[in-house]
Amino acid sequence: MKPVLWLKIAMLPACIAWSNTAVSADEPELATEVAVQTGTIAKATLHRYVMAYGTVEPEPATGDKPAAGSKIAAPMTGILTQTYCVEGQQVKKGALLFELDTRSADALIAKAEVAVEFAQKNFARKQQLTATDNISRKLYDEAELLLQTARQDLLNAKTQRELLQIKAPLSGTVTAIHFKVGEAVSLATVLADLVDMDRLDIAIRVPSLEAFALRLGQAAEISTGSAGSNPIQQGKLAFIGAQVDPLTDTVLVRSTLSKASGFRPGQFVKVRIIVEERPERLAVPIESVVTRGGVSLIAVIDGDSAKQKVIKPGLRDGNLIEISGEGLQEGMAIVTQGVYGLPPETRIRVLK
């Protein structure tokens, strides 16, 4: 009995191995299949940008144009007695905006008018006496000089009176009024801000390391700067400063704005300056490119399988990135989402 029992025990592992082999032979071989989303290689015009922030301002004075904004200042000390404008009002050049207390000026004018009247009568008598040779030339000249001085004093008094009436130096919109009637103002006190709303531009501060790529006439896309906002205005670079601000390490750049742009002075904006354009370049969505060990790859689809292909990435513009590589053509199908988990070559299943 013992030899038989030993034989049965020895044959048991062999039977188990045979049984597993038979089962494996009956089952079909499982193939790896990865679910992905796909896209195509396309040709696109890509851009390189310099990003910066800026503030809406009135255009500064140039060689042939005056400034588009003005700080309306008091020409002398006085009391504000009349306001002829309100904030938001459009005014024409030369329109009366404010008036200071004129009582002292009116008194000087009245005094000067009396002096002129006296000097005129005195000079008229001297002229009559001259006709009959009853007056010396010296007295005649003194009377004439007295009349000229009185007339000049009257002119000066009227000029001082006119200075108390503050007028608009340009046509535009009153954007702010800083004083009320009855308040005292001093020399050069700013009473109001006046801006020509059709002549606004963007004062942009560009980091000095990026300013080398800027050129006059380059396009600028302007948005409000809020998250997800799209460009709402197109402008062009009209000025590039030659000096770097040592406090901010930035260069002042100005971009034009179209009339009726909808922007307001002082508004903060985001600016994207186009410094390079590359037309007709092969491009793919950025999520279709994966980098492993310093090598960039995309997965090109052939039938129901995908094979990784080495590419050289180039300029990125938004969600697209420029690519180049051997055998790449427009219209080739590629894996977009799911590419990170792919082996070098595998079967795929396209998600709808």
Average pLDDT on 65-93 reads 95
Distance CA 315, CA 222 (A): 22
Dmax (CA) of the chain: 181
- In a domain? residue 20: no
Counting the structural domains of the chain, the total is 4
| pLDDT at position 28 | 47
Look at residue 210 and tell me whether its pLDDT is greater than 50: yes
Is residue 286 in a domain? Answer: yes
pLDDT of residue 352: 67
Q: Provide the β-strand partners of residue 332.
A: none
Claim to verify: residue 312 and residue 345 sit in the same structural domain: yes
Instruction: Give the three-state DSSP class for 197.
Output: coil
Summarize pLDDT for 106-153 with one digit per residue, the tens. Answer: 999 999 999 999 999 999 988 888 777 777 888 888 989 999 999 999
The DSSP string of 58-116 is EPPP-SSS--SEEEEE-SS-EEEEEE---TT-EE-TT-EEEEE--HHHHHHHHHHHHHH
Q: Are residues 191 and 242 in the same domain?
A: no
Domain C-terminal end among 278, 295, 317: 278
The tokens describing 39, both together, are 């896209």
Whether residues 78 and 188 share a domain: the answer is yes
User: 52 with 273: CB under 8 angstroms?
Assistant: yes
| Pair 173, 208 in one domain | no
pTM above 0.85, yes or no: no
> What pLDDT shows up at residue 230?
63
Residues 286 and 271 in one domain: no
Taking 70 as the threshold, does the pLDDT of residue 23 lie above it?
A: no
- The whole-number pLDDT of residue 6 equals 40
What is the pLDDT, as a whole number, of residue 281? 95
- What sign does the CA torsion over 139, 141, 146, 151 have? positive
Domain harbouring 56, CATH code? 2.40.30.170
Question: Do residues 265 and 235 share a domain?
Answer: yes
Judge if 39 and 125 occupy the same domain. Answer: no
**pLDDT tens digit string along 255-294?**
999 888 889 999 999 999 999 999 999 999 999 999 988 8
* Predicted confidence (pLDDT) per residue in 225-249, tens digit: 665 556 688 999 999 999 999 999 9
> Which stretch of DSSP H or E encloses residue 199?
none
- Rounded distance, CA 201 to CA 206, Å? 15
Range of lowest pLDDT (20-24, 221-225, 317-321):
20-24
pLDDT for the residue numbered 32: 61
Amino acid 53: pLDDT:
94
Mean pLDDT for the chain overall:
87
Domain assignment present for 22: no
Q: How far, in Å, are 6, 9, 16, 27, 29 from residue 20 at the CA level? A: 23, 18, 6, 11, 15
